[in-house]
């Protein structure tokens, strides 16, 4: 293993850099720009049991140091993903991929995960109980420790691959939700998903986004994400995938010091499609600058001194 290599729930990654779900499509779109096999892995677009058109437009609003989106889990449904998207992905990405799953009931989560669990290309199931852009699903599970635990138990009962639960920051105590997921059998947790935000158009005096509110992401949320990763690391004994405003190799190092075993990069992919490749390339020099021999040596390092 190289100095950038890490382990995520028993599966090796060449490096900890993972483009986040919803910002990297199904991979092949970015493969037209560079060889995406330089990445540790990536989390593909959030997938539900049935096709979803998503929310009405407009869905995006710009804001200082970030953006707000309310796409609403637009996707072709799990059967189409398996039949059409994964074969195209396999042509350009030759590592295990992370499947991001969302749902509107415990049964739907389990159904979708059970189907994706059978796919050899899928290495991890990232179960999203934290999407703020849909009604009656997603975040409604992630804000209640008991409800999140029920999703974990249902998914673990029908899968064999590592299950990571993607947590919402829109809670009073994210640690309680993380611990409930660990106790229910989760193999890891991913955090944070987007904060809930909005913009108002001064000309129309109405919300910019048709959904009124959406998920706020980008560099502005990094300190919040870092704090939550730090808190969860203190409380659980399962791996953490850190995310939220990460946009540089330095941010990756900082997130790992807080406790992340791997790091997802989200919103910045939408403004710089080469950012994940560049972060991978930048990591060795940043490690040398801060006298880091191996990334495994710094996971949770901020807690030890």
Catalytic residue IDs: 131
141-147's contacts with Cβ under 8 Å and 24+ in sequence apart are: 141/106, 142/166, 142/167, 142/168, 142/171, 142/177, 142/193, 143/168, 143/170, 143/171, 143/177, 144/177, 145/176, 145/177, 145/179, 145/180, 146/180
The CA distance from 126 to 25, in Å, is 15
CB proximity list for 271: less than 8 A, separation 6 or greater? none
Cis peptide before 192 (omega within 30 of 0): yes
CB proximity list for 76: less than 8 A, separation 6 or greater? 51, 84, 85
| Tokens of residue 137, six digits | 């699903």
């Amino acid at each position: 293993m190289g100095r950038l290599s890490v382990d995520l729930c028993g599966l090796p990654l060449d490096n900890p850099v993972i483009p986040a779900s919803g910002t990297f499509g199904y991979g092949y779109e970015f493969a037209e720009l560079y060889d995406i096999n330089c990445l540790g892995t990536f989390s593909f677009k959030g997938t539900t049991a049935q096709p979803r058109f998503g929310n009405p437009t407009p869905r995006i609003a710009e804001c200082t140091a970030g953006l707000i989106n309310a796409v609403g889990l637009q996707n072709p449904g799990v059967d189409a993903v398996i039949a059409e998207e994964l074969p195209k992905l396999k042509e350009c990405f030759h590592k295990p991929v992370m499947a991001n799953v969302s749902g509107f009931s415990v049964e739907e989560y389990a159904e979708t995960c059970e189907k994706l669990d059978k796919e050899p290309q899928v290495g991890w199931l990232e179960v999203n109980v934290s999407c703020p852009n849909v009604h009656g699903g997603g975040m409604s599970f992630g804000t209640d420790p008991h409800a999140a635990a029920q999703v974990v138990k249902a998914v673990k009962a029908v899968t064999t691959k590592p299950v990571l639960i993607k947590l919402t920051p829109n809670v009073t105590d994210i640690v309680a939700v993380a611990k409930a997921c660990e106790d229910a059998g989760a193999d890891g947790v991913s955090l944070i998903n987007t904060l809930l935000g909005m913009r108002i158009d001064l000309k129309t005096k109405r919300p910019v986004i048709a959904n009124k509110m959406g998920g706020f992401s980008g560099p502005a949320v990094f300190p919040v994400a870092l704090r939550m990763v730090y808190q969860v690391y203190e409380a659980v004994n399962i791996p953490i995938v850190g995310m939220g405003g990460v946009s540089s190799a330095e941010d990756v190092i900082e997130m790992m010091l807080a406790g992340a075993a791997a790091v997802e990069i989200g919103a910045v992919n939408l403004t710089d499609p080469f950012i994940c490749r560049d972060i991978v390339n930048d990591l060795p020099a940043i490690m040398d600058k801060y006298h880091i021999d191996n990334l495994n040596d710094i996971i949770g390092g901020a807690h030890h001194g």
